[in-house]
Structure 1
């Protein structure tokens, strides 16, 4: 089917999962998992993934777009955690419907200025723009420190000053978690929902248990990002396969079960919020 726009998925008011794409197998797994669950999803390519592919966005974007268009599930294409203005500007030429522009490492005033300019540029080209306020982090314990969580009043001012379409907030999840042990601050999520007039985004959702995800969605989270969980499933299958047969050299032999494991992970996350 035709590509779905991120803005259209978010306009339904329902929570939407976004899954990171690093390889073609990731994209195929997301499409297969979404079809199995009968749910829409967002395929997102990060700046780190582009860097892994030699800094060239076009091949991975083209492959991911082709997978999305061939799928029976409604799938959108999103460019994630973009710090480079050059990469942001490449989004419009490669069928992306949305971009997450990440200026969170900058001092606050510079973050606001850069993000407002990114939003202005994106909106002139019909792109939906997400940004981040609060340090979500990727080190153990980083995002679980109360002092680094997103303040509702600051979030409201930030959205007003930047005109972004969605806001990723720090509420207790963390990137790169391989165990689902995160505890979210649901009262803070509710306060952010009441303060901010745009959809809230939860990064680092691989480490969040199903019940915590359901509560977070009930409290106001609308875009749920998952990346590490797919990589964990993929790597576990490859490692197990090669441990069983160390003579294998054909990557199709171990990438097939790895892709299936990722698709099963996608379907499990999608089904978790409907139970």
Structure 2
């Protein structure tokens, strides 16, 4: 099936009060697992490559992007490619040529005025290339190995009035909101601020995105989608599934040396994790 755009999938989800699952991929096994899981449920899906994943791949975005794009074009379901958490302007400018239809430009670490200026420039460039652009306001902790922000820390939550101004002045197409989740959580203990999410959804005319979803319980995620989240980002849940499955396999088979055996086990675990998350989102 030809690649679709992230904007198309997210806009459709927002219009139907549902959410599309967006999975961060690092290896070809991640890509295959996500597509296989999505195909088994006949569900659309977004494959995301983060700036950190690009760094892991020696700073080269094309090898993984080309692999993901080729796999997506052969999928039996609609698949979009998204470049995630981009801070480098050089990487941003590789997005279109690498086959991505969208980018999340991450300047949330900067003071508000600097975040707005940098995001406005990124949005102008992205739109000139036909790219859909997502940004973040408030700071969803846990990136780059940092601990999650305290839920009550200044700037840890997205302010609705500030968000309205930011969306209007930056020109972004979607906004990742800080409502209590955090990146890289390995335990599902995050509690979301659903009252804040309700106010954000009521006050903004762009789709809302939830980052750090791996640390959020199913009931909390279901409520978040009902409250206006249209794109749910997942990364750590796949890595956790893969790592645990491989660890158990190697413990049971210490003689194993063929990487296909344990990578296959890891891929199967990620496929099941993908299915679980998509099912939970009502797809």
TM-score (norm 2): 0.95
- Per-residue displacement from partner, 1:27-86 (whole Å, max 9, x unpaired)? 001100101122111000000000000000010000010111111111100000000000
| Residue ranges of structure 2 left out of the alignment (5+ in a row) | none
Rounded Cα–Cα distance in structure 2 between residues aligned with 1:143 and 1:204: 14
1:142 aligns with 2:149: yes
1:219 aligns with 2:227: yes
| Equivalences for residues 42-121 of structure 1 within 5 A | 42-121=46-125
Q: Which residue of 2 aligns with 1:198?
A: 206
For 2:134, what is the secondary structure of its paired residue? strand
- Per-residue displacement from partner, 1:141-167 (whole Å, max 9, x unpaired)? 515226310000000000011000000
Rounded Cα–Cα distance in structure 2 between residues aligned with 1:197 and 1:40: 23
Count residues with an aligned counterpart.
275
Q: Which residue of 2 aligns with 1:188?
A: 196
Rounded Cα–Cα distance in structure 2 between residues aligned with 1:146 and 1:210: 25
Rounded Cα–Cα distance in structure 2 between residues aligned with 1:162 and 1:11: 19
For 1:201, what is the secondary structure of its paired residue? strand
Kept in 1: contact 2:6–2:81 (CA 8 A): yes
For 2:46, what is the secondary structure of its paired residue? strand
Between Structure 1 and Structure 2, which shows a larger proportion of helix residues?
A: 1
For 1:174, what is the secondary structure of its paired residue? coil
Question: CA RMSD of the aligned region, Å?
Answer: 1.1
For 2:8, what is the secondary structure of its paired residue? helix
Rounded Cα–Cα distance in structure 1 between residues aligned with 2:101 and 2:81: 6
Q: Which residue of 1 aligns with 2:3?
A: 3
| Equivalences for residues 118-129 of structure 1 within 5 A | 118-129=122-133
Change (3 A) 1:44 1:21: same
Give the deviation of 1:247 after TM superposition.
Answer: 1.6
Moved over 4 A (4+): none
Rounded Cα–Cα distance in structure 2 between residues aligned with 1:102 and 1:146: 20
Match of 1:252 among 260, 263, 273: 260
Kept in 1: contact 2:65–2:98 (CA 8 A): yes
For 1:225, what is the secondary structure of its paired residue? strand
- Per-residue displacement from partner, 1:70-114 (whole Å, max 9, x unpaired)? 111111000000000000000010110100000111221111111
For 1:91, what is the secondary structure of its paired residue? coil
